[in-house]
């Protein structure tokens, strides 16, 4: 049996909602994939509307090799790694407040 990738994404996010129902605050950092965004928003829309959950697109400098990333971390050079990270709110609920502060804060490093 084969299952379409989007169904798997939706299933995982709704299962996460079931598992994490009692958690006070959720924060998702998602790869820039529209299917993942849609699944996350479908499962957690009420939590995002009430500011109990946030979701962000994250893009990391993929041109760096694993050895380069490990070297930056080993030498404590997190600022250069942070400059290569881009965090963008994925819905209108994160466009104000902490989401933009986090995004702007990472870009300013």
Q: Coil, strand or helix: which one is 27?
A: strand
pTM of full prediction above 0.85? no
Rounded Cα gap, residues 103 and 83, in angstroms: 11
Buried b (16+ CB within 10 A) or exposed e, 44-68: beebbeeeebbbbbeeeeeeeeeee
pLDDT in tens, 43-101: 999 999 999 999 988 877 677 788 877 777 777 666 655 555 556 666 654 444 333 33
């Amino acid at each position: 049996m084969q299952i379409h990738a989007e169904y798997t994404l939706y299933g995982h996010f709704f299962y996460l909602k079931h598992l994490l129902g009692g958690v006070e605050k959720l924060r998702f950092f998602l790869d820039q994939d529209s299917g993942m965004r849609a699944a996350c928003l479908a499962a957690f829309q009420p939590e995002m509307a009430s500011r109990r959950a946030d979701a962000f697109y994250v893009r990391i400098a993929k041109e760096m090799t694993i050895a380069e990333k490990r070297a930056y971390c080993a030498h404590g050079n997190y600022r250069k790694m942070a400059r290569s990270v881009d965090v963008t709110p994925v819905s209108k609920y994160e466009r104000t407040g902490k989401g933009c502060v986090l995004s702007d804060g990472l870009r300013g490093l």
